[in-house]
Amino acid sequence: MSRLFVRRPSPLLAEGELTHLDRVPVDASLALAQWRAYVDAFRSRGWDIVEIAPADDQPDGVFVEDAVVMFGDVAVLCRAGADSRRGEASSVRAGVVASGIELVEIVEPGTLDGGDVLKVGRTVYVGASSRTNAAGIAQLRALLEPRGWEVREIPVTKVLHLKSGVTALPDGTVVGFEPLVDDPALFPAFAGVPEEHGTAVVVLDEGTVLMSADAPETAAAHRARGLEVVTVDVSEFEKLEGCVTCLSVRVRD
């Protein structure tokens, strides 16, 4: 059974951190409806939904992927690069521990946001971004390499997180909107996509990906590859530099 950690959006969502985008109005009610539809897309495919305790005082708390990353049966609790987000960690820690998952942590002076972590097979690409520092990457490497993972550092200057610019298809091909990618040549297999909101996919299974409804040309390209594509509207989260990957943490048992 695959599990999905999620947290419902805070009423303060519109006050979330922004780095590369200008602030525009966010509809909190629409965001909640979109979040529910996102969760239902996983539930309808047999995922077991695990809700992290609400954190209504944390505007960015819905972006649970930034707080914890799964590596097989081990979870790494991150230390947020933005001071305003460090209050999210305690409730995420409690939810992961209650689920019986082994937990290790990034500690000061390291910072690591889960949105900077892209796994392709046993390779872990980690974005050196405004939110993830060298100490955090070094700690992650020390935690993972003894467990059989290879950690590769990737520069990120054009977007908030590595996975704001690239994600990976089930066959390991890294996909991204090239104007947002510092150096596509750092990935062994890279394929450009035609739309900014087409950069992010969540692998549901070996033949299916979930992505934003705001990238129809990219969805058509993935279907031409033989993939089934599930689309969801995440417009209110995209206004805050969010995407389909950062709204959940996937635990594949």
CATH of the domain at 238: 3.75.10.10
Cβ contact 129:113 at 8 Å: yes
Residue 21 confidence (pLDDT) = 85
Per-residue pLDDT, averaged over 59-72, amounts to 98
Q: Which of 78, 222, 243, 246 is catalytic?
A: 246
**CA 231 to centroid of chain Cα atoms:** 16
C-alpha–C-alpha distance, residues 186 and 96, integer Å = 33
Burial of 222 (0-12, 13-18, 19+ CB in 10 A): buried
Identity at 22, one-letter amino acid code: D
What DSSP state is assigned to residue 27?
-
Q: What is the pLDDT of residues 181-192, one digit of tens each?
A: 999 999 999 999
The secondary structure of residue 199, as a DSSP letter, is: S
Helix (H, G, I), strand (E, B) or coil at 138: helix
76 contacts 69 by C-beta, under 8 angstroms = yes
Reported as a single tens digit per residue, the pLDDT across 82-139 is: 999 999 999 999 999 999 999 999 999 999 999 999 999 999 999 999 999 999 999 9
Spatial separation of the C-alpha atoms in residues 232 and 64, rounded to whole Å: 18
Domain around 239: 2-252
pLDDT band at 19 (very low <50, low <70, confident <90, very high): confident
pLDDT confidence tier of residue 1, bands split at 50, 70 and 90: low
DSSP string computed for 43-94? HTTTPEEEEPPP-TT-TTTT-GGGTEEEETTEEEE---SSGGGGGGHHHHHH
78 catalytic per annotation: no
pLDDT band at 20 (very low <50, low <70, confident <90, very high): confident
8 A C-beta contact, residue 176 and residue 165: yes
Q: What percent of the chain has pLDDT over 70?
A: 100
Residue 47's pLDDT is: 97
Nearest CA among 40, 38, 45 for reference residue 2: 45
In this prediction, residues 10-29 reach a mean pLDDT of 92
Query: Closest Cα to residue 116, out of 107, 108, 125?
Result: 125
| pLDDT for residue 235 is more than 70 | yes
9 φ, ψ to 5°?
-65, 145
Is the per-residue pLDDT at 70 higher than 70?
Answer: yes
Domain count, the chain: 1
Cα atoms in the Cβ-side hemisphere of radius 13 Å centred on 104: 14
User: Is residue 135 within 8 Å of residue 110, measured between CB atoms?
Assistant: yes
**Active-site residue identified among 78, 161, 222, 243:** 161
Q: What is the pTM of this model?
A: 0.96
**What value does the mean pLDDT take over residues 192-205?**
97
* 207 CB-near residues (< 8 Å, 6+ apart): 170, 226, 227, 228
Separation CA 127–CA 159 (nearest Å): 10
Kindly state the average pLDDT of the residues 213-218.
98
